[in-house]
């Protein structure tokens, strides 16, 4: 629905409030104040959030705002905001809109000229990145990969040569398949970090090359439980160079004695399983030398 932009200053504000991702001590003083002061809290799951509110002694009414109703019922919240009430938006954990509902409500509010105020706090991807030890100057967040193998692999293929640190959310029952596919697409040696149960009792941050990380998770079913973020180092030419084994280099050298560069690279790729483009690049470099 389209709501006319607000024309008077009596309009309420929409506060987008982050809540903890495990450790309740991560609730900020400001978040508590806002949640106490607003007229209404729009929550992804009111029963879940009620427990959080009870823990902090907050009596503000809750109303459902989840992915199934947010598009159509967002107008209910917009009407309250236009009438002058302040509303807070929360999700089950962490920052709303980050792989969580809230996008449509925020858009509707901004289109209606309502002030939208972020109240920052916990966010699993940022917590994971801050402690993973992978390059953090440039990164991309991919959210959840497709649940089906075909879709997941094709998304990973698209990301194979992405140079920025890659961050994914993953469900525990798919973590092993996800790491297997990452190993197949990004290579055994690509550095990765599994950040599990952040801020909770069994918090684990394990950094290993993908093949070793996959075996670590495979060997210990506890690693296939709980909430997790997977971080993968971005692609770099140096890493790829390392991925070309001595045997693949020998095969390529032999073939280059009899075949044109392109054909030699293609046949060497067929024999060794190393990517054709990598071998082609290596062959060109050899020719230059």
Smallest distance from ligand SAM to CB 141, Å: 10
For residue 209 the two structure tokens come to 């090359």
For residue 30 the two structure tokens come to 């400001």
Q: Which of these segments, 27-35, 50-58, 189-197, 210-218, binds ligand SAM (CB under 6 A)?
A: 189-197
Report yes or no: 58 and 14 within 8 Å, Cβ to Cβ. no
Contacts of residue 206, defined as CB under 8 A and 6 or more positions apart, other chains included, come to: 193, 194, 196, 213, 216, 223
- For ligand SAM, the closer of residues 8 and 201 by Cβ is 201
Single residue of 123, 192, 252, 279 touching ligand SAM by CB under 6 A? 123
- For ligand SAM, the closer of residues 181 and 227 by Cβ is 227
Single residue of 195, 244, 265, 267 touching ligand SAM by CB under 6 A? 195
Smallest distance from ligand SAM to CB 167, Å: 10
In angstroms, the CA 146 to CA 151 distance is 5
Regarding 95 and contact with ligand SAM (CB under 6 A), the answer is yes
Single residue of 73, 86, 142, 170 touching ligand SAM by CB under 6 A? 170
Tell me, residue by residue from 10 to 29, as one string, x for binding to ligand SAM by CB under 6 A and - for no binding. -----------xx-------
Task: Return the DSSP state at 234.
Answer: P
Q: Which of these segments, 95-103, 174-182, 235-243, 266-274, binds ligand SAM (CB under 6 A)?
A: 95-103
- For ligand SAM, the closer of residues 21 and 81 by Cβ is 21
Report yes or no: 245 and 283 within 8 Å, Cβ to Cβ. no
Q: Which residue is nearest to ligand SAM (CB)?
A: 94
Dump strand ranges (E) for the chain. 13-17, 40-43, 62-64, 87-90, 115-119, 139-144, 165-170, 191-196, 204-209, 228-232
Regarding 167 and contact with ligand SAM (CB under 6 A), the answer is no
Burial class of residue 260 in the structure, from the number of CB atoms within 10 Å of its CB (0-12 exposed, 13-18 middle, 19+ buried): exposed
- For ligand SAM, the closer of residues 197 and 253 by Cβ is 197
Smallest distance from ligand SAM to CB 191, Å: 19
106: left (phi over 0), alpha (psi -120 to 50) or beta: alpha
Q: Which of these segments, 166-174, 175-183, 213-221, 251-259, binds ligand SAM (CB under 6 A)?
A: 166-174
User: SS3 for 75?
Assistant: helix
Regarding 91 and contact with ligand SAM (CB under 6 A), the answer is yes
In angstroms, the CA 184 to CA 182 distance is 5
Smallest distance from ligand SAM to CB 43, Å: 13
- Cα–Cα distances in Å, from 71 out to 1, 16, 43, 74, 116? 8, 17, 14, 6, 17
Q: Which of residues 223-242 bind ligand SAM (CB under 6 A)?
A: 227-229
Which residues contribute to the site for ligand SAM (CB under 6 A)? 21-22, 91, 93-95, 98-100, 123-125, 169-171, 195-200, 227-229
């Amino acid at each position: 629905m389209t709501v006319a932009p607000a024309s008077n200053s009596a309009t309420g504000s929409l506060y987008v409030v982050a809540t903890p991702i495990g450790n309740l001590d991560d609730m900020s003083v400001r978040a508590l104040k806002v949640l106490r002061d607003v007229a209404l809290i729009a929550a992804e799951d009111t029963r879940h959030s009620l427990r959080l509110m009870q823990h902090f002694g907050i009596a503000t009414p809750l109303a459902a705002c989840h992915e199934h109703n947010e598009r159509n019922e967002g107008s209910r919240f917009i009407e309250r905001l236009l009438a002058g009430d302040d509303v807070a938006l929360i999700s089950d954990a962490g920052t709303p809109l980050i792989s969580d509902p809230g996008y449509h409500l925020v858009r509707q509010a901004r289109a209606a000229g309502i002030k939208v105020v972020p109240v920052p706090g916990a966010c699993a991807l940022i917590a994971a990145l801050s402690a993973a030890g992978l390059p953090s100057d440039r990164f991309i967040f991919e959210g959840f990969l497709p649940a089906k193998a075909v879709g997941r692999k094709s998304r990973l293929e698209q990301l194979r040569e992405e140079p920025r640190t890659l961050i994914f959310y993953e469900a525990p029952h798919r973590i092993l398949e996800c790491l297997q596919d990452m190993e197949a697409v990004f290579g055994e040696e690509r550095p990765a970090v599994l950040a599990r149960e952040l801020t909770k009792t069994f918090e684990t941050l394990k950094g290993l090359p993908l093949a070793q990380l996959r075996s670590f998770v495979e060997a210990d079913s506890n690693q296939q439980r709980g909430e997790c973020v997977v971080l993968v180092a971005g692609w770099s030419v140096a890493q790829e160079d390392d991925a070309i084994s001595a045997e693949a280099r020998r095969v390529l050298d032999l073939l280059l004695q009899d075949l044109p560069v392109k054909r030699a690279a293609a046949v060497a790729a067929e024999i060794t399983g190393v990517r054709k483009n990598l071998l082609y690049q290596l062959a060109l470099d050899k020719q230059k030398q």
